[in-house]
Amino acid sequence: GLLGSEMCIRHRYINNKRDLPWRENKDPYRVWISEIILQQTRVVQGTKYYNKFIKKFPNIQSLASSKESEVLNIWKGLGYYNRAINLHKSSQDIISNLDGKFPETYDEIIKLKGVGDYTASAISSICFNEFNPVVDGNVLRLLSRYYGLKTPIDSLNAQRKIKEIGQKLINKTNNPGDFNQSMMEFGALVCTPFPDCESCVFSSKCIAFNKKEVEIIPVKSKKKKSKERFFNYIVCIDNNHNTIVNKRSNKDIWYKLNEFPLIESKREIKNITTLPEFKEFTKSKSIVINEEKYKKERIKHILSHQILYITFHHLSIDQDISQGVHLSNLNKYNFPVPITNFINKLLI
């Protein structure tokens, strides 16, 4: 069954595994960083970010002693910025509470901020030889096809079931780290969303293949409709090329990143100067807008569960902005990607 084939997979994995930088040694710090990056990012793009991150923060000490803004700066473009904030906080916890030593058991690793079952299983099995099966998207797809499971894989029930199967399989092996990595790698490279089943070592025993159900397994429950939001950024620039930059403080997307003053609206705003919130803003900053020079730039930015309709309201003002930020210094701030693109295209 699967275990016999798994030996074959593991053998193939050991001989043909991708040369990924975090596999060079079993340093838990590096495996941790790679796992957090790869939670939401594909290997090709993730590897570039991983290399950049490790160059800047080669160990727990360097990460813990850095500023949060430096960590966010390296993370720029990867999205889900809470991951970077949690990495930074966890590294400081390790330094203060664990004498700078990375925790060595699943039960301790899972206590780190931002670490769930998947990451704790990966680190504890790869670095410390613990028998914890890793269930990522690749393993879910492989096992649900092999066993013909039709419970929606985004349900807790299916994830529990797959975890139980994984536990039985991993208990029969002698190298849990290789077992987990070979299963993930097999799902990533062979049992892909659109696989070539004819050449797969599992095809004779795979229920999905034999019932011609590969295309419908894994089953996903109905997708939630993406939430639509309308962001209006006030980009006001004075004669000395100064503007206003804020920091996002709500636990929302782009938490702790920078942005221009924002008014969120229920629908697209044609002329921002007519809004009461805008009048309130200009009054609080004691600025007067030159309406003849009003320009707009509108973009659509798609996130995993949200669609953002962003309008940059480009406004000139004749008097100086007090404590403004000069346009040439904008590159020192951590903006989300769509704002960075706007700045690069229009302001600099």
112-170 pLDDT per residue, tens: 999 999 999 999 999 999 999 999 889 999 999 999 999 998 888 998 999 999 999 99
Task: Write the secondary structure of 147-198 as one string of H (helix), E (strand) and C (coil).
Answer: CCCCCCCCCHHHHHHHHHHHHHHHHCCCCHHHHHHHHHHHHHHCCCCCCCHH
pLDDT at 266: 94
Q: Which of helix, strand or coil describes residue 289?
A: strand
Among residues 6, 24, 35, 292, which one is catalytic?
35
Tell me the pLDDT tens digit for each residue of 191-243. Answer: 999 999 998 989 999 999 999 999 999 998 877 788 999 999 999 999 999 99
pLDDT tens column, 30-85 = 999 999 998 888 888 899 999 999 999 999 999 999 999 999 999 988 888 999 99
* This model's pTM is above 0.85: no
User: CA 52 to CA 234: how far, in whole Å?
Assistant: 33
pLDDT at 24: 73
Amino acid at 12: R
Residue 214 near residue 193 (C-beta atoms within 8 A)? no
pLDDT in tens, 77-123: 888 899 999 999 999 999 999 999 999 999 999 999 999 999 999 99
Please provide residue 223's backbone torsions phi and psi, each rounded to the nearest 5 degrees: -70, 140
What does the block give as tokens for 308? 């953002």
297 is catalytic: no
CA 73 – CA 82 distance, rounded (Å):
13
